Amino acid sequence: MDLSKRINTDLSEDELIVQLKKGNVDSFEFIVREYGGYLLIIAKRYLTSEADAQDAVQDTYLHVFSAIVTFEGRSSLKSWLHRIVINISLMKIRSNKRRLVELIDDNASFFDANGKRIETETEITLSLEKLMADDSQREYIKTQITQLPQMAKNLLLLKDIEGYSTKEIAELLDISLPSVKTGLHRARLLLKKKIEHQLR
Amino acid sequence: MNIEDKSSYPSQEHSISCESFDTFIVDYIDDNLQDNQKRIFIHHLNECPACRVYLKNYEYRIQLSKSIFANDTDKADIPNQLVDAILAAKKQTD
Domain boundary among A95, A113, A132: A95
Do residue A132 and residue A192 come from a single domain?
Answer: yes
Mean pLDDT of chain A: 88
Average pLDDT, chain B: 86
Cβ–Cβ contacts within 10 Å for residue B37, how many?
Answer: 14
Pairwise CB contact (< 8 Å): A192 & B57: yes
Report the largest interatomic distance among the alpha carbons of chain A, rounded to a whole angstrom.
73
- CA angle (A14, A17, A20) in 5-degree steps: 155
CA-based max dimension of chain B: 70
> What element of type H or E holds B64?
helix B49-70
CATH number of the domain encompassing residue A170:
1.10.10.10
| Contact between A111 and B85 using a beta-carbon 8 Å cutoff | no
Q: At what angle do helices A77-93 and A25-46 cross, to 10 degrees?
A: 50
Instruction: Say whether both A79 and A107 belong to one domain.
Output: no
Average pLDDT of span A107-125: 85
Percent of chain A at pLDDT above 90? 68
**Inter-chain contact B26–A38, Cβ cutoff 8 Å?**
no
ipTM comes to 0.85
The answer, for A67 touching chain B at a CB cutoff of 8 Å, is: no
Contacts of A42 in chain B (CB under 8 A): 73
Shared-domain flag, residues A125 and A191? yes
Say whether both A20 and A70 belong to one domain: yes
Question: Stretch A187-199: mean pLDDT, rounded?
Answer: 92
- The more confident residue out of A182 and B4 is A182
A156 and A123, same structural domain?
A: yes
Closest CB to A115: pick one of B20, B58, B79: B20
Check whether residue A8 and residue A73 sit in a common domain: yes
Closest listed residue to residue A71, CA positions, set A24, A26, A8, A13: A13
Contact criterion met (CB < 8 Å) for B79 and A121: no
Nearest C-alpha neighbor of A58 from the set B61, B64, B63, B87: B87
- Which parts of B1-94 are beta strand (E)? none
Where in the sequence is the domain holding A162, given as residue range(s)?
100-199
Q: Does any CB of chain B come closer than 8 Å to the CB of residue A194? A: no
Contact B61, B29 (CB under 8 A): no
Give the whole-angstrom CA distance, residue B34 versus residue A90.
31
C-alpha to C-alpha distance for B87 and B73, rounded to whole angstroms = 23
A127 and A73 fall within a common domain: no
A57 plus A105 within the same structural domain: no
d(CA A86, CA A33): 19
Q: Which residues of A touch B47 (CB under 8 A)?
A: none
Q: Which residue(s) pair with A117 in the sheet?
A: A111
Q: Among A94-98, A157-161, A169-173, B42-46, which is the least confidently predicted range? A: A94-98
Number of domains in chain A: 2
Higher local confidence (pLDDT), A48 or A37: A37
Q: Give residues with Cβ within 8 angstroms of B74, minimum separation 6.
A: none
CB contact under 8 A, A116 and B17: yes
